[in-house]
Structure 1
Amino acid sequence: MNEAPLGLLFGILAALILLSGFFSGSETGMMSLNRYRLRHKAKSGHRGAKRAARLLEQPDSLISTILIGNNLINNLAAALATVMAIRLYGDNAVVPASILLTLVFLIFAEIIPKTIAAYKSETVAYAVSHALLPLRKLLFPVIWLVSHITHLVLRITGVERNDSGEHIGLEELRTIVGDAGHLIPKHHRGMLLNILDLETITVDDIMIPRNEVFGIDIDADTSTIIEKLRDAEFTRIPVFQSDIDNIVGILHQRDIINSVDDHGRVQRDKLLQALRSPYFIPEGTPLHTQLFNFQKKKRRMGIVVDEYGVMQGIVTLEDLLEEIVGEFTSNLSTDTDDITHQSDGSFVIDGTTTVRDINKTLKWDLPTDGPKTLNGLLLEHLESFPEAMVGVSIDRYRFEILEMKGNLIQLVRAYSRTPSKRQRQS
């Protein structure tokens, strides 16, 4: 080495710096790959993705290969630089040469290669995989020895390997979808987030409450039944006997004509024959479960009952689908049948409106882990049945009761004193 030309030594040192940069960039490029995109491209037949996937199947072997190569190169470069410094300037040049070599390696073998690999991870990873696969085979004995020593030390120190890094939870998946940006259209992104929410929402949150259920009493007189049928706005109508808790079936509008005789009178026998047996749903059923149940049982409407069999409300397939795709309406304003915007910036809200509908329509953050309706939420905070014009504050929201109907809060004026987090983000 002492007799080798300095030009040759400088050339070897430059080559070692490049090799060190190769290993540094390889590590960053391989570890920065999007694993899900990599799997997709590998399944699509991309050769570079297949090679990278093979390497990442054993990340410990991959890292060992890169670190063994990198440390070997760095040690050779340090030894070579020491020899060159002594030949050029004597023993006193060893320390300055080490400092200079450190700076050169830091810039050209660490920062620059790793920055490039971070920005171009796929390009770098697919390219370096050509060399890393055969190099891993070549260094297998050394990798095997290093891995066993490493695992032995880890066991002694009580550190266990954790293979759960590839698994993501619901919140992480929501973040991935939310951060997808232009990769997923806004409307589709909203649908995906709504699908993820199905596990946390139950039929209680979206059902039409008992007091708003439109039904027909089979024991009513013919004129009353015909009048109810004439006013019906729904395709499927619950039919009960004497009491709404005693539902005897579901009537489809198209079957009504077969139950009316030539004189326009409803024939109860034919009406009962046209009924489809009611489908009952236990309260608290998650929406994703109920969606599969509707599909399995070929149903479009279910009766929600509590543990005592008392009817709580009804849920339709359309209600459930609206939780995924949004309201089936072209009206983009905040005004709905239950929520009306006022000129002073407040809203007049029907007391039976669900808290979730208020949050979705107004982008508010009212608590949803308690009562399901605004009436229930206000009564919980008031702890008594109020008179009209009573006000109550819940977090940053102010509510003024405008109208009572028995023990039910009928109308409420509401407004937000400060913008909610969701309003600021929109």
Structure 2
Amino acid sequence: MTATNTIVKKCEKPNEPYWRRLVWHRIMTVTSAKPQKRRLGRRLQHKMTELALMWMAGLGAALACMSATGSKVLQEIPRHPVEAYARRRRSNLDRIILAEHEEAALGAECLQILGTVVGMSAATAWLASQDSDMTTSSFALFSASSTIVVLAINLWIPWAVNKLFAAPFVYHTWPLWWVAQKITWPLTIGVKVVGEFFRRLAGRPEQDDPDDEELFEDEIRSVLTAGLRDGVLEAAAGEMIEGVMELGDTDVSDVMTPRSRVDALESKTSFTEMVRFVITVRRTRIPVYDGSLDQILGVLYVKDLLPELAKDNAEERKTLAQLLRPPWFIPSTKSLDAMLREFLATRKHLAIVVNEYEGMVGVVTIEDVLEEIVGEIVDEYDRDDGENLIRLSDTILETSGDARIDELNERLGLSLPDEEDFDTIGGLLMRRLGRIPAEGESVAQDGVVVTVLEANARQVKRVRLEWGGAA
């Protein structure tokens, strides 16, 4: 007989109705089962807590992975693929994406941090609920597994998606990132506050927002860097694109042939002397002046001269004045991108550069502009730089006075100053001395001793550079 039946028997009275005895029996049965139900409830609650923690860890990891991928793609957003992807779907969503991608990337980063914290906290709590006495081996296994999961979520998967599916991903998930930037804006206020604090701490002035052209150039440079890093672009192609972008920041005066080095003809030159001069200078277009280079009359095209050489009768040949084509004058402050457009529009290849006082300061050709894009263009008549630079030892070199300082610094690893009012080694000497130096004079500058080997009353022709132990 069970304990319940015993209790019921003791409580029963001989003449008590049956229904009352049945009620007592049920009460005692329920009372005796309460401890067992409590144990079952606690186990059920424990299992539900474990399941909730597993779900929280999984959702946190998914949120972190999605947000990390969105942040990576939005920070390195591929402009042209996104535009092309939107164009194929006849949508203007690309304009909104490209205009607001920076704010959306910040919101995605906030969600990434939130998801990582939630996931790691839930995973740690779940592990603690499984084994209260954690051993060193189980802790090490948990740490290693967590590291792999975090790397996969925050690095491996975002990198792969950004490389392979950037445009489709950002196009189809944009509504999520738009919402993310709206709901996380309180968390992004700290970025502006901390940025302003460090700006003031560094003592830097407030900068205006860059214009669209600067943003576009920065974006192109980012694409170039990524292309060079991934091997999609060659270094030469990157330099050419960089040269095109810098055309607007470079003036004609920076690339022109200066007045002192211009090969020009005097208008009263005889036909025989003119032919001899053309053969000597090996130019295809030669400016012609009257008395002074400030009085340019026109430009002689050698191809116009060739038909006259074929005439046997000297009297039938045209004079120099008749062979001239009208000169084209341009200011020295004109940018190279505008200069290149005008070269292409006018189909001319040489222009006379003048200053604000209408004085001739040099000439510029289409080749000078193109060399800023593709690098030095050398033909069979150009002087080789190797012949101009003569190395006497590892720290002693001879070169011409018109050697450019930036090229010497790059080639020899020097740090000679390259200022706005001079860009050649001869110009440096004249600036330091305040006059044209004589042969044998020396100037020490930034660890380099420059000695004049040959000079005349107008220019420095040849110098010797000594640095390091030789100086």
CA distance in 1, matches of 2:222, 2:108: 29
Alignment of 1:283-294 (within 5 A): 283-294=332-343
Shift of 1:251: 1.6
Of Structure 1 and Structure 2, the greater helix share is in 2
Shift of 1:237: 1.2
CA distance in 1, matches of 2:234, 2:67: 33
User: Is 1:350 matched up with 2:390?
Assistant: no
1:393/1:399 contact within 8 Å kept = yes
CA distance in 2, matches of 1:377, 1:34: 48
For 2:347, the equivalent position in structure 1 comes to 298
1:391 and 1:43, CA in 2 relative to 1: closer, same or farther beyond 3 A? Answer: same
Q: TM-score, structure 1 length as denominator?
A: 0.72
Deviations 1:153-175 (A, max 9, x none): 99999x9xx98799748678657
Deviations 1:269-321 (A, max 9, x none): 5x434322111121233323322222233221111111111111111111221
1:147 and 1:7, CA in 2 relative to 1: closer, same or farther beyond 3 A? Answer: closer
Amino acid aligned to 1:344 = S
1:25/1:114 contact within 8 Å kept = no
SS of the residue 1:256 aligns to: helix
1:361 and 1:411, CA in 2 relative to 1: closer, same or farther beyond 3 A? Answer: same
SS of the residue 2:393 aligns to: coil
CA distance in 2, matches of 1:155, 1:350: 54
Number of residue pairs matched by the alignment: 398
User: Is 1:205 matched up with 2:242?
Assistant: no
Alignment of 1:400-415 (within 5 A): 400-415=451-466
1:65/1:135 contact within 8 Å kept = no
For 1:231, the equivalent position in structure 2 comes to 280
User: Is 1:4 matched up with 2:44?
Assistant: yes
User: Is 1:366 matched up with 2:416?
Assistant: yes
For 1:21, the equivalent position in structure 2 comes to 61
Q: TM-score, structure 2 length as denominator?
A: 0.66
Shift of 1:402: 0.3
CA RMSD in angstroms comes to 5.0
CA distance in 1, matches of 2:269, 2:443: 42
1:80 and 1:113, CA in 2 relative to 1: closer, same or farther beyond 3 A? Answer: closer
Alignment of 1:20-419 (within 5 A): 20-33=60-73, 35=75, 38-45=78-85, 56=101, 58-59=104-105, 62=108, 112-114=149-151, 116-123=153-160, 133=173, 136=176, 146=183, 168=215, 177=224, 180-181=228-229, 182-259=231-308, 262-264=312-314, 267=317, 269=319, 271-329=320-378, 336=385, 339-345=388-394, 346-359=396-409, 362=412, 364-369=414-419, 370-417=421-468
**Structure 2 residue ranges without an equivalent (≥5):** 1-40, 197-207
CA distance in 2, matches of 1:341, 1:304: 32
Amino acid aligned to 1:391 = S
SS of the residue 2:269 aligns to: coil
Deviations 1:73-107 (A, max 9, x none): 7898899899x69xx98xxx9xx9xxxxx999998
CA distance in 1, matches of 2:225, 2:78: 20
Shift of 1:380: 0.3
1:218/1:268 contact within 8 Å kept = no
2:58/2:119 contact within 8 Å kept = no
Amino acid aligned to 1:31 = S
CA distance in 1, matches of 2:405, 2:190: 55
Shift of 1:5: 5.8
2:255/2:364 contact within 8 Å kept = yes
SS of the residue 2:358 aligns to: coil
**Structure 1 residue ranges without an equivalent (≥5):** 97-101, 419-426
Q: Which has the larger radius of gyration?
A: 2
Deviations 1:359-405 (A, max 9, x none): 56656543332313322211101223322111112223321100111
1:379 and 1:188, CA in 2 relative to 1: closer, same or farther beyond 3 A? Answer: same
Shift of 1:417: 2.8
Deviations 1:95-136 (A, max 9, x none): x9xxxxx99999867873355432331445769969x95994
1:218/1:239 contact within 8 Å kept = yes
Shift of 1:255: 0.6
Structure 1 range deviating more: 107-116 or 25-34: 107-116
1:106 and 1:324, CA in 2 relative to 1: closer, same or farther beyond 3 A? Answer: same
CA distance in 2, matches of 1:416, 1:203: 33
CA distance in 2, matches of 1:330, 1:252: 19
1:290 and 1:187, CA in 2 relative to 1: closer, same or farther beyond 3 A? Answer: same
Structure 1 range deviating more: 233-242 or 223-232: 223-232
1:117/1:124 contact within 8 Å kept = no
1:150 and 1:279, CA in 2 relative to 1: closer, same or farther beyond 3 A? Answer: same
Amino acid aligned to 1:305 = V
Amino acid aligned to 2:449 = R
- Percent of paired sites with the same residue: 21
